[in-house]
Homo-oligomer: A and B are copies of this chain.
């Protein structure tokens, strides 16, 4: 026995399918929604349907947008010479939150992962090459901001080889110890990277 209402059980089942929401959280959400005013529930349901109806990929970079071209590609305030290549639109949100980056983006839509059956043709790689190779392109640097995983590294390697013919600089995000993490908590792979990528902070004076 669960809730004595089939419609509540159906909602719980639907919620449970979402990531990070288990049966118990779904139940708590349903119990909360039971007490919500009808209009608020309608607003949530509409937001779901509207988003699915309106959202599309930006024609230039693949970012999620409600228009043909996203606000970043449309902005004249962003440097058009630097393009940061990310896996997902979510990564753009994370990078934008830093406030550090003023260039543009390109969303691959994933990484090369033979085990999951994802090859280069399943990603927005062709559009990236077109962007870099366009006659009016002013791109001078591509930052490959893919995750430091096996798949991310493979994708970065693939892109680097593919982009060799073009006169552009290709970079990757620095890898090392996360800010705020105690050294002893860092895993070995991260520590190895941090040692290999160590920065000079003081040099012996040359005499």
Total interface residues on A, using CB and 8 Å? 60
Q: How far is it, in angstroms, between the C-alpha of A88 and the C-alpha of B8 when the chains are bound?
A: 14
The B-contacting residues of A in range 54-70, CB under 8 angstroms, are: 54-55, 58, 63-66, 70
A37-51 interface bits toward B, Cβ cutoff 8 Å, 1 = contact, 0 = none: 010111111111111
Closest beta carbon of chain B to A3's beta carbon, Å: 6
Nearest-neighbor residue (CB-CB) of A109 within chain B: B35
Contacts A19-B32, A45-B48, A47-B14: A5 and B93 contacting too (C-beta < 8 A)?
A: no
List the B side residues contacting A2 at CB < 8 Å: 93, 96
Q: Is the interface of A mostly helix, strand, loop or mixed?
A: helix
Interface membership of A134, Cβ < 8 A: no
List the B side residues contacting A64 at CB < 8 Å: 3-5, 8, 34
Closest beta carbon of chain B to A30's beta carbon, Å: 7
Interface membership of A198, Cβ < 8 A: no
List the B side residues contacting A42 at CB < 8 Å: 49, 52
Does B93 lie within 8 Å of A10, measured CB to CB? no
A residues touching B (Cβ–Cβ < 8 Å)? 1-8, 10-11, 13-15, 17-21, 25, 27-34, 36, 38, 40-55, 58, 63-66, 70-72, 88-90, 92-93, 96-97
